[in-house]
């Protein structure tokens, strides 16, 4: 296992031996950080698990600012992954201004982004995967895709995910699970799976008629001299977080009894190592590890959390491998007499500028993007401020979208869903069509315009807040807090249901939002069918084009107590 000393040593390599503090030119930083540094690892045993998750269809290197808030409640407060900024740096022993500080926190983000450059790029990930397979032996490495792979970009939307399917096939994963994949609709999901070439697993999805499994639950792999069982867990609350009408014949849920049964059957079938490939979210899987016996490793996704190494909960290791292709998770296992006896783990940051792109993957990426390249690069505006979308309550991209909806739909208030996906733009960057679609590319993009009473608005905020801050993770149903435009409020995450939201204020007048009064609200990504309104990407293209230069000030309208 990496110690804090190991992380400090890595940070020293990344920072340079001359006391780099974060403000030297990019070329200097790149000279100090190498591809070999990223691959350095104290290998254990013969079996290596590699994990990518929540890529959201991002094929190219990108900026993605880590969250400014990641609030845990109850027993989950103040522990990983609910640490940000300096608290994160202190907990993991990372130097401010180091490569790992940039990869994992928003501290000094713009300066460090200008120093270290972008992360990710599937051609860079392919290089790392191929290098580890060459080092360990291809038969000793298991690569797993944690889902949210087929959605989140212009090209994925236009090709109905074929771009991601074609590129991921070159990585040769051993299995995958899903969440946003299901928003392609039943027919398209099944069509892709028929041609996928590797298992699409979901222990927790059954049909609504007979409650029979829709997908395989388990796949077995012989790797590292061990029989490895991979059990898949789709996002259990998909029909709540996304439109049920897109997959009406499938029923989701945690289904813990089914999961325990599948673990026990895998053991009975000779599995020496049981891996749960999960899209439950970190806190759900932390609790699940205390209730399900027999799982050696949980590779978790959905909440986009990124921590430098796996944590151990009772007898189960849990690794969260971030999002958007920024990281490649690695867990090495030593297995003796049918049991895991030792391990090491590390979350490899994919620093794009110091990794040689894999030529085969790079050529495939160019091929799938070629028909759209001109439109992808079309500039619709410029930003003078940092545009990002991560944090429990707001991000400047969502503030911009909220402003655009109110203006374009002539609304008093606006709601933007608390999606965690979407890349970052630095001050001075052009805003292109590709950038806009990383925030908005989805299959139900209509912007509605409705009237809600103040009472109903509070009910909506309370409901979403409980999804995020319920002290029992099994009742947390995904996403960050709904973003709001035109209003302010106070939130108490530790309060009980119905008592978390107060002081709702109409910003245009400074007056309280009245329970019995009606307000015109614009919003998007409704889970209802047949929503009437323009697509969010078209609306925001018009709005940004009118503004020309975007300057988003810090949002002070949401108070957290």
Eight-class DSSP state of 276: E
Q: Nearest CA to 234 among 190, 182, 193, 198? A: 182
Q: Nearest CA to 356 among 63, 26, 127? A: 127
Q: Is 233 helix (H, G, I), strand (E, B) or coil?
A: strand
For β-strands 413-416 and 518-524, DSSP reports them as parallel
For β-strands 218-223 and 226-233, DSSP reports them as antiparallel
Q: What one-character-per-residue DSSP string does 188-205 give?
A: HHHHHHHH-SS-BB-TT-
Q: Nearest CA to 46 among 263, 408, 344? A: 344
Eight-class DSSP state of 386: -
pLDDT score recorded for residue 26: 55
CB atoms within 10 A of CB 335: 22
- What is the residue-level pLDDT of the chain in tens, covering all 561 positions? 444 444 444 444 444 322 333 334 555 555 589 999 999 999 999 999 999 999 999 999 999 999 999 999 999 999 999 999 999 999 999 999 999 999 999 999 999 999 999 999 999 999 999 999 999 999 999 999 999 999 999 999 999 999 999 999 999 999 999 999 999 999 999 999 999 999 999 999 999 999 999 999 999 999 999 999 999 999 999 999 999 999 999 999 999 999 999 999 999 999 999 999 999 999 999 999 999 999 999 999 999 999 999 999 999 999 999 999 999 999 999 999 999 999 999 999 999 999 999 999 999 999 999 999 999 999 999 999 999 998 899 899 999 999 999 999 999 999 999 999 999 999 999 999 999 999 999 999 999 999 999 999 999 999 999 999 999 999 987 779 999 999 999 999 999 999 999 999 999 999 999 999 999 999 999 999 999 999 999 999 999 999 989 999 888 999 999
Measured distance CA(523)–CA(546) in Å, rounded: 20
CA dihedral 442, 447, 451, 453 (to 10 degrees): 40
pLDDT score recorded for residue 479: 79
pLDDT score recorded for residue 31: 52
Question: In whole angstroms, what separates CA 92 from the centre of its chain?
Answer: 21
pLDDT score recorded for residue 19: 31
Measured distance CA(400)–CA(544) in Å, rounded: 9
pLDDT score recorded for residue 476: 86
Sequence-separated (6 or more) residues with CB below 8 Å from residue 68: 84, 85, 106, 390, 391
Domains of the chain: 1-33+65-118 (no CATH), 42-56+138-368 (3.60.21.10), 377-560 (3.90.780.10)
Element (H, E) at 332: strand 327-336
Q: Which two tokens stand for residue 261?
A: 């049964």
């Amino acid at each position: 296992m990496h110690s804090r000393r190991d992380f400090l040593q890595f940070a020293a390599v990344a920072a340079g031996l001359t006391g780099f503090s974060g403000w030297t030119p990019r070329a200097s930083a790149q000279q100090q950080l190498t591809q070999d540094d990223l691959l350095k690892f104290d290998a254990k045993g013969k079996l290596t698990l590699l994990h990518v998750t929540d890529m959201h269809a991002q094929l190219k290197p990108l900026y993605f600012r880590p969250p400014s808030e990641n609030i845990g409640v109850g027993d989950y407060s103040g522990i990983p992954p609910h640490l940000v900024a300096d608290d994160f740096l202190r907990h993991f022993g990372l130097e401010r201004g180091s490569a790992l500080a940039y990869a994992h926190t928003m501290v000094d983000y713009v300066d460090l982004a200008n120093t270290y450059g972008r992360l990710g790029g599937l051609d860079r990930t392919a290089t790392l995967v191929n290098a580890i397979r060459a080092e360990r032996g291809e038969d000793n490495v298991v690569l797993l895709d944690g889902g949210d792979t087929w959605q989140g970009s212009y090209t994925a939307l236009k090709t109905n995910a074929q771009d991601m399917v074609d590129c991921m096939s070159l990585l040769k994963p051993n299995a995958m699970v899903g969440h946003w994949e299901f928003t392609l609709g039943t027919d398209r999901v099944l069509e892709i799976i028929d041609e996928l070439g590797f298992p699409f697993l979901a222990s927790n999805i059954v049909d609504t008629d007979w409650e029979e499994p829709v997908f395989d639950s388990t796949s077995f792999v012989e790797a590292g001299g061990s029989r490895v069982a991979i059990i898949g867990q789709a996002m259990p609350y998909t029909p709540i977080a996304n439109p049920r009408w897109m997959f009406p014949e499938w029923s989701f849920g945690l289904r813990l009894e089914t999961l325990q049964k599948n673990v026990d059957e895998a053991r009975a079938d000779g599995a020496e190592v049981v891996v749960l490939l999960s899209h439950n979210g970190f806190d759900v899987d932390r609790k699940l590890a205390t209730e399900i016996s027999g799982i050696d490793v949980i590779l978790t996704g959905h909440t986009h959390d990124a921590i430098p190494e796996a944590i151990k909960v009772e007898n189960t290791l849990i690794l969260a491998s971030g999002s958007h292709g920024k990281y490649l998770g690695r867990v090495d296992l030593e297995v003796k007499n049918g049991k895991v006896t030792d391990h090491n783990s590390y979350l490899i940051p994919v620093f794009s500028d110091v990794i040689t792109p894999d030529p085969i993957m790079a050529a495939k990426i160019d091929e799938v993007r070629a028909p759209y390249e001109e439109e992808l690069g079309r500039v619709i505006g410029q930003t003078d401020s940092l545009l990002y979308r991560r944090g429990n309550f707001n991000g400047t991209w969502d503030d911009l979208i909220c402003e655009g909806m109110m203006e374009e739909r002539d609304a008093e208030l606006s709601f933007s869903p608390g999606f965690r996906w979407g890349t970052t733009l630095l001050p001075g960057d052009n805003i292109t069509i590709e950038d806009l679609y990383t925030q908005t590319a989805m299959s139900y993009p209509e912007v509605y315009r409705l009237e809600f009473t103040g009472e109903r608005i509070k009910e909506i905020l309370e409901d979403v807040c409980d999804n995020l801050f319920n002290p029992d993770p099994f009742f947390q149903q995904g996403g960050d807090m709904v973003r709001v435009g035109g209003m302010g409020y106070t939130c108490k995450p530790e309060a009980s249901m119905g008592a978390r939201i107060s002081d709702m204020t109409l910003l245009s007048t400074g007056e309280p939002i009245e329970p019995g009064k009606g307000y015109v609200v614009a919003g998007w990504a409704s889970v209802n069918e047949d929503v009437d309104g323009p697509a969010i990407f078209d609306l925001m293209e018009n709005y940004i084009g009118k503004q020309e230069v975007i300057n988003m000030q810090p949002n002070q309208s949401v108070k957290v107590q």
